[in-house]
Chains A and B, each alone.
Chain A
Amino acid sequence: MNLRSQIKDQIFTFKSLRDLLAKANEEKSGDALVGLAAETATERVAAKLCLANLQLKDIYENPVIPYENDEVTRLIYDDINTTIYNSISHWTVSELREYILGSKSRQNDLLHISRGLTSEMIAAVAKLMSSMDLVYACKKIKVAAHCNTTIGLPGTLSFRNQSNHPTDNIDGIIAATKDGLSFGCGDAVLGINPVEDNVENYERIMRALIDLKERYEIPTQCTVLAHVSTQMQALKKGIPVDLVFQSVAGTESAHKGFGIDKAMLTEAHEMALKLGAATGPNVMYFETGQGSEVSVDCHHGVDMVTLEARTYGVARHFNPFMVNNVSGFIGPETIFTGKEVIRADLEDLFMGKLHGLPMGIAPCHTNHMKADRDDQEIGTMLAAMAGANFFMGIGGGDDCMLSYQDTSFHDDASIREILGLRPAPEFEKWLEKWGIMEDGKLTDRGGDASIFD
């Protein structure tokens, strides 16, 4: 494994593959915070040069966190198809990049090699891509998934109706959810982040969502984004759970910080299939984001992009319905500027798709970052062009409970119009039945939540 490279008259020697992967990253505050980032722009390019010439087997043979030490590493390696891996192990990362971008490779080809790629290989290739490279590659892959309904079909774009409330007030949640529905938002899921994480509160919110879904016969799925252990209690109690949610990360120790491990996720997945209310087969909803390992101090000296890729390695094991990336949510210590968020969103969308995942994105920001609504909207438009399965939908783009800014109900309807994308088919029929949508566009009734009363 050659870890030396020369740019002009400067020669760089990288300490390890881990060091090289980190230094090849585009600039992000989280890598700098933990002292992993390249010190100069030239060092960054030197790392990319080195990385481009590594063979996939160099990466395979040097896991960033040893197999024995980390169950996430084990999960990623155990899930690899060795026949496919062996057939491409001699490729350099540069060759992999050019194969992905090449005119001949289509979704099936990419999903085929995907089975032979470890998450670190996918991270490596993302580091050799510009923004348009990432969008170009993303556009080739769109993986559909089915819970009660199907999202991610070609030509569609779906949304999670995320009508959170600062005190979990049911009337407030339902009022805002109706507003979103009237804009055509909610075909991915009606999903609420609870303020209080306990099974009573979970049940209270879930029952309200189910009641709404049943009263208006909405073809969608419901979820309450409590901790997975709370949702398992709910499943045991017989509450009709469609989708089981959990935030996941790229290291075993970060999972420990989240109060989860592979065994718990496996049990939750099995319970969702056995006791849950959904048709399936996809019954899990994961959220991820660059920097979550940094925020709980469990990064093991690995950079944020690589850890994020490993997170997708975890997600694909559980055959999820949706994987949502919220890199912009964590804060300035991991992602500081609008440019950093947009870059992260595109990297994450690409890495998720190349893992064969039904990916969505929440191009978002908090108020203590150097990012604003324009950055958020640019991120949304790019990720939509790149073929994200779904975005969030929030009234006016401001989550009044989580205090961060994300895609609005208005943005949802706009992006469908701009790109000529349609809701999930069953949901579009439902919108037409309520007179909200005609020929894929909002009617005069669109945006009027009182049509439901």
Chain B
Amino acid sequence: MDKKTEDLIIESVIRQLMETQAQSAENNFRAGPESNSRDSGSSSEPNTLEPMDVIGVENPHNLEALKVMRKTSPARIFMGRCGARQKTASYLNYMADHAAAIDAVLMDVSEQFIADNDLFKVKTVVKDKDEYLMRPDLGRKLSQESKDEILQKGEKGKQVQIIVVDGLSSTSIEANVADAMPALIQGLGTYGITVGRPFFIKYGRVAIMDEVAPLLDCDVVVEFIGERPGLITAESMSAYMAYRPDHNTNESNRTVVSNIHRNGTPPTEAGAHLATLVKKMIDNKASGIKLAALP
């Protein structure tokens, strides 16, 4: 395939992604389940959580000092107290953040998301979430049907293969991929780097890329994967990359960019940054600490 055709394909992928993204915004609006309490339909103002940066200390000695210090750390500090216990507002904030974290781990990436981002879906040998959590080893193996499907629907011999993996936060995948992936594809396009059709892997761990690369014979795998959620955000995504990973690859061979989310590195900017990193990997035929050691 010549350069021009590739450019056309990349362009069309970007266009599709943008269109489907716009559609998904509408679809999401309609998609809410009606059977639970999520939308009451009433017009009254809902109760909301107190903002995290509220100073809860009553009659502080130096309010200004607390306000300035509050900005220096995302830690849960200066919350005030009732007796020795937390006030209701800060207690509920904690519960809400923990709930978001639990949901991020336990929920699945939606079919809608997979369709919207023009992905196809495959799976590791893991059978359910509990097994996924307790057996990291199984999250590193593709099932046979999945291997077949990848060979059938994927593209062999491209320079870069992008994979989207649920990892420990489905929420982060749904929050960031639609912005990070097209930015990455666009950036790779400006460098003239070829990209295979991206796909989604359910119940995957980082090292699943080691099975993907040999299967598709690509130079670099870029793996978007949900990070273990914290209470600060459940939306944080990482991008792991390796040059020609396989079963001999260890962690020091991988390059990682973490903390991709709207309050960390914005997903679009991360995508652009990753394109530069991938170019460097291809130019130097290296990743991980070997890449980092280059001048």
Is A–B contact present in the complex under a CB 8 A cutoff?
yes
Inter-chain contact count A-B, CB under 8 Å? Answer: 149
**Shortest Cβ distance from residue B258 to the other chain A in the assembled complex, whole angstroms:** 11
| A109 on interface, CB distance cutoff 8 Å | no
| A176 on interface, CB distance cutoff 8 Å | yes
Q: Are A396 and B66 in contact (CB under 8 A)?
A: no
Q: Are A398 and B231 in contact (CB under 8 A)?
A: yes
Q: Are A178 and B134 in contact (CB under 8 A)?
A: no
Q: Which among A33, A367, A398, A447 is the interface contact of B81 at CB below 8 angstroms?
A: A447
The listed residue with most A CB atoms (<10 A of its CB), out of B76, B81, B232, is: B76
**Shortest Cβ distance from residue A212 to the other chain B in the assembled complex, whole angstroms:** 13
Q: Are B73 and A176 in contact (CB under 8 A)?
A: yes
| B79 on interface, CB distance cutoff 8 Å | yes
Q: Which among B75, B95, B130, B136 is the interface contact of A172 at CB below 8 angstroms?
A: B75
Q: Are B63 and A450 in contact (CB under 8 A)?
A: yes
- A-B contacts, 28 of them at CB < 8 A, read A169-B73, A171-B69, A172-B72, A179-B75, A179-B77, A183-B84, A333-B136, A367-B102, A368-B228, A373-B95, A394-B75, A395-B77, A396-B77, A398-B76, A398-B94, A398-B97, A400-B74, A400-B76, A400-B230, A403-B230, A403-B232, A413-B81, A414-B84, A414-B85, A442-B81, A447-B81, A448-B66, A449-B69
Interface of B is mostly: loop
Q: Which residues of B contact A398 (CB under 8 A)?
A: 75-76, 94, 97, 230-232
Segment among B54-62, B140-148, B266-274, B283-291 that sits at the interface with chain A: B54-62
The docked-state distance in angstroms from the alpha carbon of A414 to that of B76 is 17
The 10 closest A-B pairs by CB, nearest first: A396-B76, A172-B73, A403-B230, A175-B69, A450-B62, A413-B84, A367-B101, A172-B72, A179-B77, A395-B77
| A366 on interface, CB distance cutoff 8 Å | yes
Task: Name which residue of chain B comes closest to A394, CB basis.
Answer: B75
Q: Which residues of A contact B197 (CB under 8 A)?
A: none
Q: In which size bucket is the chain B interface?
A: 35 or more
**Shortest Cβ distance from residue B125 to the other chain A in the assembled complex, whole angstroms:** 15
Q: Are B228 and A367 in contact (CB under 8 A)?
A: yes
State the B residues within 8 Å of A (CB): 57, 59-63, 65-66, 69-70, 72-81, 83-86, 90, 94-95, 97-98, 101-102, 104-105, 130, 133-136, 168, 228-232, 234
Q: Are A410 and B98 in contact (CB under 8 A)?
A: no
| A165 on interface, CB distance cutoff 8 Å | yes
**Shortest Cβ distance from residue A44 to the other chain B in the assembled complex, whole angstroms:** 18
| A129 on interface, CB distance cutoff 8 Å | no
Q: Which residues of A contact B80 (CB under 8 A)?
A: 447
The docked-state distance in angstroms from the alpha carbon of A163 to that of B245 is 38
| A271 on interface, CB distance cutoff 8 Å | no
- Supplied contacts A29-B134, A166-B74, A450-B60, 16 more A-B pairs, CB within 8 Å: A163-B75, A164-B75, A171-B69, A172-B72, A176-B77, A333-B135, A333-B136, A367-B98, A400-B232, A403-B229, A403-B230, A403-B231, A408-B76, A413-B81, A448-B61, A453-B65
